[in-house]
Chain A
Amino acid sequence: GAVVSQHPSWVICKSGTSVKIECRSLDFQATTMFWYRQFPKQSLMLMATSNEGSKATYEQGVEKDKFLINHASLTLSTLTVTSAHPEDSSFYICSARDPSQAVVYGYTFGSGTRLTVV
């Protein structure tokens, strides 16, 4: 089935620094990817839609200047948390769809990235 890889799995950074998270579709091309955030003991919240070759679409309340999304190729989307603060500590997850297998597998999620800002 379709595989979505996220890197890193976990990262610890100092307050005020920036962190980049990568989301790759390993065996398919994805024109659209989605980024979610999940705080402890809470459900996933959609942050933004990443579109290959164009600007990302952000959900209401998500700061686009803080969460920079780049989707420069059909297999890679990156989320950069700029000037990170402790309240940005969360579990970040991406998802994508293999157009050739969407009916069978639905959307495939990455394994997530645990960000801790100290």
Chain B
Amino acid sequence: DAKTTQPTSMDCAEGRAANLPCNHSTISGNEYVYWYRQIHSQGPQYIIHGLKNNETNEMASLIITEDRKSSTLILPHATLRDTAVYYCIVRVYTNAGKSTFGDGTTLTVKP
């Protein structure tokens, strides 16, 4: 898996957009960018993934730079329940289950 770099922590005001960056400068052409989050004492929850195009689902948007060396997860209207550790993972799709989790970003949404 390509190595990823994320900020240790971020704060966001409730109702505002939360933009979580991830650097993956060594990403290979066949590697996808996955985002998961882990709320305290729970298992990780899948959020979104993409290869090179921007993606959007009911939870978030994923913006991947043209050179694919970095990406941003966007939670459009953060709520208190979005407080969690967010993990950016880069891996080949066929090897998706064997995830290498880094330290992630602890997002704290404040009222």
Chain B residue contacts of A108, Cβ below 8 A:
46
Minimum Cβ distance to chain B for residue A98 (Å): 11
**Which of A12-20, A42-50, A70-78 lies at the interface?**
A42-50
How far apart sit A4 and B42, CA to CA, in the bound complex (Å)?
A: 12
Residues in A neighbouring B46, C-beta threshold 8 A:
105-109
Cβ-based interface call for B97 (8 A) = yes
Q: What is the CB-to-nearest-CB distance from B52 to chain A, in angstroms, rounded to a whole number? A: 15
User: Which of B41, B100, B104 gathers most chain A CB within 10 Å?
Assistant: B41
Interface size class of A (residues with CB under 8 A): 20 to 34
Residue among A44, A91, A106, A111 making CB contact with B49, cutoff 8 Å: A106
Interface residues of B in 25-46 (CB under 8 A from A): 34, 36, 38, 41-46
**A46 cross-chain contacts in B, Cβ below 8 A:** 98-100
B96 within 8 A of partner (CB): yes
Q: Measured between alpha carbons, how far is A20 from B102 in the docked complex, in Å? A: 27
Q: Is the interface of B mostly helix, strand, loop or mixed?
A: loop
Shortest distance between the CB of A34 and any CB in chain B (Å) = 5
A32 in contact (CB, < 8 A): yes
Q: How many Å from the CB of B99 to the closest CB on chain A? A: 7
Nearest chain B CB to A1 CB, angstrom units: 9
Interface string of A107-118 (1 = CB under 8 A from B): 111111010000
A77-118: which have CB < 8 Å to B?
91, 93, 95-97, 102, 105-112, 114
Q: List 14 A-B contacts (CB under 8 A).
A: A34-B98, A34-B99, A43-B87, A43-B101, A43-B102, A44-B101, A45-B101, A97-B97, A106-B46, A106-B49, A107-B46, A108-B46, A112-B41, A112-B43
